[in-house]
Amino acid sequence: MQAQEIYEKLKAEFGDAIIEFNAEPFFDPFVLVTTDKLFDICLYLRDTQGLEFDYLSCLGGMDYKENLGVVYHLYSIKLKHTFVIKVTVSKENPFVPTVERIWRTADWHEREAYDMMGIQFEGHHNLIRILCPYDWENFPLRKDYVQPDEYHGMKVPY
């Protein structure tokens, strides 16, 4: 199914929760959705006949300077089509519902997005750091991150 058709289906089902559809050439076509309907949209994409996105190929955290965001790359192994969903959240209030119960892959990916960007996934069963040590402070891939001078007595700068 083409991205345009998927978008139309989503728009008919969820209305205002779909903020924007972008199908510029050279990019993967994506829809921007609101966080409060994200879980329902993902469930719909997975379970509807003709969409059947049974595979989350990638989930990534983003820092857009003013906002944070999460990007979901979906793929249907059965129907061989792809789709991209994006959400944005503010830096002060970075709460996004988890999709871990829809695609099991999201478990570690969400932990990574939390570890690097500080995005809080509500409802995640085990939202702890995955790459950095557990007692690491701040979120290193944010654009305004300043690296510490010392970690456990070891000097960080060169």
Partner 1 sequence: MGLLNKLDDPYYGGGIILGKVEDILNWGRSKSDWYLQFGLACCAIEFMAVNASHFDFMRFGCIPRTSPRQADFIIISGTVTFKMAERIKVLYEQMAEPKYVISMGSCSNCGGPYWEHGYHVLKGVDRIIPVDVYIPGCPPRPEALEEGMIRLQEKINKQAIFNKRKRLAEEEKQELIIDN
* Contacts to partner 1 by CB under 8 A: 131-133, 140, 145, 147-148, 151-152, 154-158
Task: Tell me how far, at minimum, the Cβ of 65 lies from partner 1, in Å.
Answer: 18
Task: Assign 22 to helix, strand or coil.
Answer: strand
* Residue among 11 and 129 whose Cβ is closer to partner 1: 129
Task: Tell me how far, at minimum, the Cβ of 156 lies from partner 1, in Å.
Answer: 6
* Residue among 7 and 139 whose Cβ is closer to partner 1: 139
Rg (CA), the chain: 17
* Cβ neighbour number for residue 113 with a 10 Å cutoff: 28
* Residue among 15 and 157 whose Cβ is closer to partner 1: 157
Residue for token digits 């969400």?
A: 110
